Each structure stands twice: as C-alpha cells, then as structure tokens.
C-alpha cells in the first residue's frame, strides 16, 4: 500500500505527486534522483527534483500478469 509522504524520492521510478493533502489533482511523474529531474508534468515539462514541492507516493510497481 502506498502512502503520501513529503520526503523527496531517493529511488528512481514512477511516483504519484500532488501539491498537498487537499489537492484533488495528482499526477504520475518519473523521478530520477541522480540527475535531479522529475517529469513530465501535465504540460510536458520537466523540472529539478530539488525544487519540486508537494507529496509523493511510490515508486509504482508494474502490474502483475
């Protein structure tokens, strides 16, 4: 079970992200801590993980067949 946390992800992978606990719009983004990048955001852009604020849940695991 995933839980929301404010700690920035330290493992590469896909994560749920939301601005805060009342944000109804969460998005799935790729996080790469080694290169300090996160995205694509809903507008297609990427940004620095160190500057990204909000809550994270993940990394997401692929579905089992």
pLDDT (tens digit per residue) in 38-59: 999 989 999 999 999 999 999 9
User: What is the chain's mean pLDDT, rounded?
Assistant: 94
Torsion angles phi and psi, residue 50, rounded to 5 = -60, -25
* Residues 15, 5: Cα–Cα separation, whole Å: 11
pLDDT band at 65 (very low <50, low <70, confident <90, very high): confident
**What is the residue whose two structure tokens read 């079970």?**
1
- pTM for this model (two decimals): 0.90
Q: Domain segments of the chain: what residues?
A: 1-65
Amino acid 62: pLDDT: 87
Please name which of 60, 63, 64 lies closest in space to residue 14, comparing C-alpha atoms.
60
Whether 16 has a pLDDT exceeding 80, the answer reads yes
The CA radius of gyration of the chain, in Å to the nearest whole number, is 11
């Amino acid at each position: 079970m995933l839980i929301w946390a404010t700690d920035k992800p330290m493992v590469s992978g896909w994560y749920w992200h939301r601005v805060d606990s009342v944000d109804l719009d969460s998005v799935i983004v790729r996080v790469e801590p080694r290169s300090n990048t996160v995205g694509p955001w809903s507008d297609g852009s990427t940004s620095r993980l160190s500057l990204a604020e909000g809550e994270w849940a993940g990394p997401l695991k692929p579905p089992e067949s």
